Structure 1
Amino acid sequence: MEKNWFRAITGKLFWLLMICLLIGLVVGQPAWALAIGLSGYLIWMLRQLQRFQLWLQAHPSDPPPEAPGLWGEIFDGIYRMQRRDKRLRARMQSVIERIQSSTAALSDGVVMIDKDGHLEWWNHAAEDLLGLRAPDDSGQHVHNLLRDPRFIDYFDQGSYREPLDIPSPVNISTWLQYNITRYGNGERLLLVRDVTRLHNLEQMRKDFVANVSHELRTPLTVVVGYLETMIDSDDGSNSRWQRPLHQMQQQARRMQSLLNDLLMLSRLETAEATTEEKPVDIALMLPGIRKDALALSGDRQHEITIENATQVRLTGLEMELRSAISNLVYNAVKYTQDGGSIQVSWSQDDRGARFSVTDNGPGISPEHLHRLTERFYRVDSSRNSTTGGTGLGLAIVKHVLMRHEGELQITSTVGKGSTFTCVFPPERLI
């Protein structure tokens, strides 16, 4: 196209110069004729440029001015491009309006936030849930409008794999779930959902479990006490009751263990993080846990070794950390075959501290790994029933790690064993 325009311009200029030269030769002034011809051509070109500029500035939506030859093609081409762009913009605007109207109709709040954290747009539900006001809050930083420290930490952390559930800034009895998604060039989309009903149901479940566990604890303690008295006072004259009494005692103790785990979970879920955290010496704690694990192993003769690669201490609650660590070690004892080996290690690297328990047991299939921390989840229910597991140990470990900003990592190979690793951030180390 550019070559055609260049050829047309040079062709017209060539013929103009030839005509001017012929006229100049006839009148005996070829130089003046060429100068007058070039000047006229330049004036005509400048006039067309002026018309073009006036058209673009004053009336770009009107049809272009009439012009002969090449300038007419230029005017028409630009006009067609403008019409095409105008239709494209109209379609895009229609799509944007449909998206905004459909988003505005959502019952969930939607807030568009730019890369610097300033509010760009939100729907009507966001106004009701978050108390935003248009247009006063447009362009405000999100920290100025949502001032809950938990939301600020969640917004600034940059990792939004898990949602955040906190009370609404408008009504403290309303619970909201915040989900943030990154898009574009660092912009963020904030989705806000009213989860008050789910929160209330979850709270009812927690209260029910805690109350039932607490109420059952006393009568179960009485039953266990009488069973122990009956077994201890048995003189062997009535041997047919020995086996039933021992079975009742075994199951009663199992129920006690289940209630204790339920109460521990309930306390972890409901108790807030306190200022009672203090330095905990994990390395000093491990020998006592190993001794208890060997007692649990008994005649099964597990080999339990400890490797303390660091003496770093961990800021936290000693009772909760002991519960999590002992659960992992006891699980390894329960589910590792007789005579198996269990390695317990406490180490430190650039990403923080790591407590791991490795066994050479039967291993766990990959499809079960992501569900191991669910309450009462059993990989093999028949195996768990024989080992006396409650199905709550790993759930307790998960909640303890959450309260200590840690993470549980599980790797396992069927037939070779499993490794459970608790990773603690560097901020928790002393």
Structure 2
Amino acid sequence: MSYLPTILAALIAGAFAYLWFQERKKARKAEARIGKSLRQQKKRLRKEQDRLLNALSDAFFLIGPDGVILFANETTTELVAGRRVAGRNYREVFLDERLNRPIEDSLTSGRGVVHQVVLPQQASPRGIVEKRGETAWVVDVAPLNRNAKKTITRVVIRDITTEHLVEQVRKDFVANASHELRTPLSIINGYLENLVEGDIDNQAMLKRALTVMQKHGERIARIVEDMLVISRLESGEAAALNVSPFLFTECVEEVLDRLEPLIQQQKTKIRFKIEDESLALIGDRFYWTQVFFNLVENALKQNPRRPLTLEIGARFNGEDEVTLWVADNGVGIPGVDLPFIFRRFYRVEKHHSQDSIKGTGLGLSIVKRAVEAHGGTIDVTSVPGQRTAFSIHLPKEALATEEQLLLAAAGDGDGQALVADRENEEGEHA
């Protein structure tokens, strides 16, 4: 009987030990499950992080204290034309010193560095020749822990080429516009000074001075008008076009009426080659008038010293496209100038006398942007001394139907016939 308490104590201790062991076993299993769950969650978070970083349009990578790249997203790999990035020193990856310098400055100083880099065509970070010319990049570098002596550094490289080009175009536009306005203003001021000082003492000289000032004043007004038009076209305001149907021939006749004095002065012949004189467009007539006015005026002003034949035509290319063109048999455009003639303020003839009033240099830019605003394209071909042709290609959506014309006429309430007689293919307008 004296052993009973001992046996009971042993049994109780064993029971407690067994329960503790079972609980400990459960706890270890729970810990294992939690650990596994945490590892899986960490893995999922890492995948999600990589997915988000790879979705960035910017190059993003991490650099260790020794300059070795620890992580790089897919954009970084694309940036260097698929070359291996992770595990290599950044200097081995980016071969241009202008890209490496901001990274080196940050690693050395331990501070954040943001620097804009402009690279010429042959110095792309991709290590290949860029078709688009010079490129621009923002390199943003910063240590993850600025207080630590050795820390990981993150680098973001962003392509800002489009913004850079837009800014360059803006600067060029302002500079060119200032130059174009300065010339006529200087001429006007010169004559005004002579008038104020009394240097013009006869009626003939006075009349000439006033005539020159008037012409240059008109030139300033034309430059400002063209700048406003091209500004509207480039700012997106042209997206809200004042669309209405109108006859192509009516638009052309309006242009020819406005240019009649210049046509008569140069004894220019106008020849029509219009496949269907009932051809009608649906679009903003103001901009289409600008298009043909600039094309016809450009042909006249580029050929002032020779009898000129100007051809205006239209033809259907199947059911899906129509081509409109303005052609002349003048001096033509040199081949080296053809790729640039739609640029703002670009002129084929660089030598202008002060006594002659030239175009604003914006006309063909307006033409191109107005055509594109209507869903079309424009191209030019030229054989110097033989033929120069500007051809506009429009989709069928830019053509108006007879029903649309009738509805527009009914809305005007003028009761006039919509299809006016025009000269036929062999007709000429002097």
Q: Normalised by the size of structure 2, how large is the TM-score? A: 0.48
Pick the structure with greater CA Rg.
Answer: 1
TM-score, normalising length from structure 1?
0.48
The structure with more helix, counted as a fraction of residues: 1
